[in-house]
Amino acid sequence: MAKHEKISEAVVRRLPIYLRYLSYLQQVEVTTVSSQQMGRNLDVNPAQIRKDLAAFGDFGKKGIGYDVNYLVEKIRQILKLTDEIRVALVGAGNLGHAISNYNAYLKDNMRIAAIFDSNPKKVGNELAGLSIQPLDELAETIAAKQIKLAIITVPAPAAQSVCDLLTQAGIKGILNFAPTTIRAPKDVRIHYADVTSNLQSLAYYLT
């Protein structure tokens, strides 16, 4: 998609939210939706939704709204969810187990395709249908399975070295659950899902 470069981070973050709602509409067999209806349900300004979607072409019809199936297809294309996306997970502890067994992303064409852990006692154990692999198989497996994204669920002190291993193996996006900042080359995107610091920020708003 030629316009890919211009999509702002904020839009990229909203598109999955639109997609989730639209997929729900598909499930309940609703075929068209207005930006007002989407806005009400998602708590997003309808003008914002129209603006976000207009950036990718003229999807909506005045007075009728958006064709749900068409929009789902388009957003999936924009987010590059059309082909299966394979994800590696490093750190098969409690969080790693929970995330591996949480298969809600399967329907979005995402799949955990390899799991690694440094603990020899865990290597070889089965988790979510996969055999936990040692770190020395990481690079080869990531290349062979064409894995591009990774999830880090190791303790904080191990996160940077795991991040380095992953980026050297060609990983281009990391979702980091370890409660620490990690650094990667510029072409690698890092998103944080740090439960502790998120809760700490929420604590500030308690009255």
Q: Which residues lie near ligand ATP (CB under 6 A)? A: 90-96, 116-119, 122, 135, 153-155, 158, 161-162
Report residue 13 CA to chain centroid gap. 10
Helix 46-54 with 35-42: angle, nearest 10 deg: 120
Burial track 180-190 (b if 16+ CB lie within 10 A, e otherwise): bebebeeebee
Q: How near is the Cβ of 131 to ligand ATP at its closest, in Å?
A: 14
* Of residues 17 and 175, the one with the C-beta less far from ligand ATP: 175
Nearest distance from C-beta of residue 41 to ligand ATP, angstroms: 36
Give the nearest residue (CB) to ligand ATP: 93
Between CA 109 and CA 19 the distance in angstroms is 13
Q: What is the nearest approach in angstroms of ligand ATP to the Cβ of residue 121?
A: 8
3-state secondary structure of 190: strand
User: Nearer to ligand ATP by C-beta: 103 or 161?
Assistant: 161
**Least separation, in Å, of the C-beta of 147 and ligand ATP?**
16
Q: Which amino acid, residue 132? A: I
